[in-house]
Amino acid sequence: MDVTALLTVLLHGNQLKRVTRTGWTQRGVPDAESVATHSYGVALATLVLAQVVDEPVDLAQALSLAVLHDLPEALTTDIPSPAWRYLPAGVKTEAERKAMADILDGLPFGESLLALWEELHTAETAEARLVHDADKIDLYLQALIYQEQTGNRHLDEFWAVPAAFHFPQAEALYQALRARRLVV
């Protein structure tokens, strides 16, 4: 067992507690959540959605994808979505792939964790699609909470274009969030 490689992965994971979700700070949210906080929200949403979706889901696989989904941001930081349109196609994914490889370097199970991360990006499995839906649900839930707490109208852009979901159960949650937002 390479304790140094294990510690490296855990230190990178811990770094996510200090990486702020940039999109929130750009929109004037004080004390915006960290990437680690978001990752917990995605894992919880994955756990909840896995109980109600119509398609069979390997819960351990789905939760593994949820936990790993933003790990590269320990090195790349959180690149907000408005910046993506100024980057060449695929550059964000490639940078995150390299970061993930660096984080997992030296682990005897590093290739299997990288394969999980790649599975998420291909979105061909039910588990990957579920985590993508959970990621969006956590985003919209957090936007709603920030709007309720602060009255911040700079978050309206998140709701301007309706989101698309893989599972109707995630869509139903999203519609419930949109309806609640209209009441706020």
The backbone torsions φ and ψ at residue 34, rounded to the nearest 5 degrees and listed phi first, read -90, 165
Average pLDDT of the segment spanning 141-147: 95
Residue 140: which pLDDT band, with cuts at 50, 70 and 90?
A: very high
Mean pLDDT value across the chain: 94
The pLDDT, as a whole number, for residue 102 is 97
On the 0-12 / 13-18 / 19+ scale of CB atoms within 10 A, 155 is buried
98 is written with which tokens? 């390299």
pLDDT at 85 over 90: no
Average pLDDT of the segment spanning 85-111: 94
What percentage of the chain has pLDDT greater than the value 90? 84
Report whether 65 contacts 128 (CB < 8 A): yes
pLDDT at 182 over 80: no
pTM over 0.85, yes/no: yes
Length in residues, the chain: 184
Domains and CATH numbers, the chain: 3-183 (1.10.3210.10)
- Helix (H, G, I), strand (E, B), or coil: what is residue 34? strand
